[in-house]
Amino acid sequence: MSSALVLIVVVVGGYLAAHVASDWLGRRFLVVSGAEYLLLGILLGPQVSGVIGADVFGGFAPFLTLALGWVGVVVGAQFSLPELVRIPAPLFRIAFLEAALTLVAVSAAMLGVFTALLGTLPEEAVFPAVALGAVATASAPTGIGLVARRLGWRGPVVRQLQLATAIDALVAIVAFSLLLTLGHGPPASSAVRPPTATEWAVISVAIGCVGGALFHLFLGNERKVDRLFIGLAGATILASGAAAYLRLSPLLPTMLIGAILANTSGNREEIRRALGAVERPLYFVLLIFAGAAWVPSTRAWVVPVLVFVAVRSAAKVGGANLAARFNRALPALGWGWGRALLGQGGLAVAIALNYLQQEGAPLANIVFTAAVVSLILTDVASARLAESVVGSVRRRQADRFAAAGSGQEG
């Protein structure tokens, strides 16, 4: 099968899945689609059927770079300052503390696993450990949004969960992007001093700022969705391509583009509609190609992957609990509100795939396998977990109101 035909089939399949199967499954069974397309990619990939061969996957590297960049733009578009300033400060503290605890706990645990179990040197093991910490920090907002729409209720716990997923994405992207700046080694032969890690970080930020400024100048007041989509795609391709060429993550520059557009353009809602129009189809296409890119590790990977899934679950629930307790919000959110953050989503796969694409990245297949397994195990149940958290808080509030009403009547 030719590469062009493979791309057409995958794109059409992703579009139909996003507009037919995904919505129907969500409404009917409260199931978030995603894991099945990752499994489909594995079945179509060179490790199983070979329909999508290794040569085909290599030819679509620019398309995957665009998909990674699009994920970053979608994340950045959430951070609109006029909306953020209306959110109480304790909600931000809870979200940041939960994300930081998850990142540190999972990174430390995986560093110990890689050094003790696989015998990897600490200075080498820190890269896959922090990459998995960033993967673990990412949480999917899809299940939470699905439950909020289904219940027709937006209480404090829903607002906290939605903010937490956005902050999780921010922390995950920043941590992973800074990790890649540390991974830049000096050229084999060069008379010019190579940039330091700090300078690489500044370069990554500059790519995003320039891309966002250029898009704002040319299409900042454009109202037509089709032209906005073309402009967004152009800005994303420019920033993603520049970052990939420099061996940086496309996620941070494109996230900055999304944030700049959300705060400087008068057509904020039109931009969000343009992003949302292709977000789900592009997500499913990314999952299919990510599945096709999966290669089983030649090293002992089962124990590290199982440890990652277990530690991430404990860190999410425990970190969320501690964050709420320190900010005296545990009665409002409930002990297990972090269960709603267990879903992984597209950002986790994007980070793992980005790490896999880095030449010479240590233990890249184990990192990618851990993200794949975690997504398969958590995404199907993410909406159900969110429903249990939101439903429990809603029932407690109803009981308190009923008790207060009975007391007043007495």
Span 357-380, pLDDT tens digits = 888 889 999 999 999 999 988 887
Q: Is 192 exposed, middle or buried (0-12, 13-18, 19+ CB in 10 A)?
A: exposed
Can you give the pLDDT at residue 325? 93
Taking all residues of the chain, what is their mean pLDDT, rounded to a whole number?
83
Lowest mean pLDDT among 12-21, 330-339, 395-404: 12-21
Band of pLDDT at residue 13, cut at 50, 70 and 90: low
Does residue 17 contact residue 40 with C-beta atoms inside 8 Å? no
**Long-range Cβ contacts of 326-331 (<8 Å, 24+ apart):** 326/93, 326/97, 327/90, 327/93, 327/94, 327/97, 328/90, 329/90, 329/94, 329/160
Q: At what angle do helices 268-293 and 35-44 cross, to 10 degrees?
A: 40
Most confident range, picked from 125-139, 202-216, 237-251, 288-302: 125-139
Read off the pLDDT of each residue in 47-63 and give the average, rounded to a whole number: 70
Give the C-alpha distances (Å, rounded to integers) separating 53 from 43, 57, 264, 285.
11, 6, 43, 16
Q: Does domain 3-185+192-402 correspond to CATH entry 3.90.1640.30?
A: no
Band of pLDDT at residue 352, cut at 50, 70 and 90: very high
Q: How far apart are CA 176 and CA 249, in angstroms?
A: 8
Q: Is the pLDDT of residue 328 over 70?
A: yes
Does residue 254 contact residue 72 with C-beta atoms inside 8 Å? yes
Can you give the pLDDT at residue 256? 95
Can you give the pLDDT at residue 7? 54
Read off the pLDDT of each residue in 94-102 and give the average, rounded to a whole number: 96
Read off the pLDDT of each residue in 161-186 and give the average, rounded to a whole number: 89
- Pick the residue with more confidence: 396 or 318? 318
* Helix (H) / strand (E) containing 212: helix 197-219
Can you give the pLDDT at residue 308? 96
Q: Which residues fall within 8 angstroms of residue 107, CB to CB, at 6 or more apart? A: 129, 130, 132, 133
Nearest 5°: phi and psi at 363? 55, 40
Band of pLDDT at residue 116, cut at 50, 70 and 90: very high
Q: How far apart are CA 201 and CA 206, in angstroms?
A: 9
Can you give the pLDDT at residue 379? 81
Closest Cα partner for 308 from 170, 116, 128?
Answer: 128
Span 206-256, pLDDT tens digits = 999 998 888 877 776 777 777 788 888 888 888 999 998 898 999 999 999
Torsion of the alpha carbons at 187, 193, 194 and 197, rounded to the nearest 10 = 140
Q: How far apart are CA 220 and CA 212, in angstroms?
A: 10
Read off the pLDDT of each residue in 249-278 and give the average, rounded to a whole number: 85
Band of pLDDT at residue 153, cut at 50, 70 and 90: low
Q: At what angle do helices 364-409 and 346-357 cross, to 10 degrees?
A: 160
Q: Is the pLDDT of residue 138 over 70?
A: yes
Q: Is the pLDDT of residue 401 over 70?
A: no
Most confident range, picked from 79-83, 192-196, 390-394: 79-83
Lowest mean pLDDT among 71-85, 197-211, 282-296: 282-296
Read off the pLDDT of each residue in 49-56 and give the average, rounded to a whole number: 68
- Pick the residue with more confidence: 287 or 355? 355
Q: Which residues fall within 8 angstroms of residue 68, CB to CB, at 6 or more apart? A: 240, 249, 250, 251, 254, 286, 350, 353, 354
Q: Is the pLDDT of residue 395 over 80?
A: no
Q: What is the DSSP letter of 196?
A: P
- Pick the residue with more confidence: 152 or 163? 163
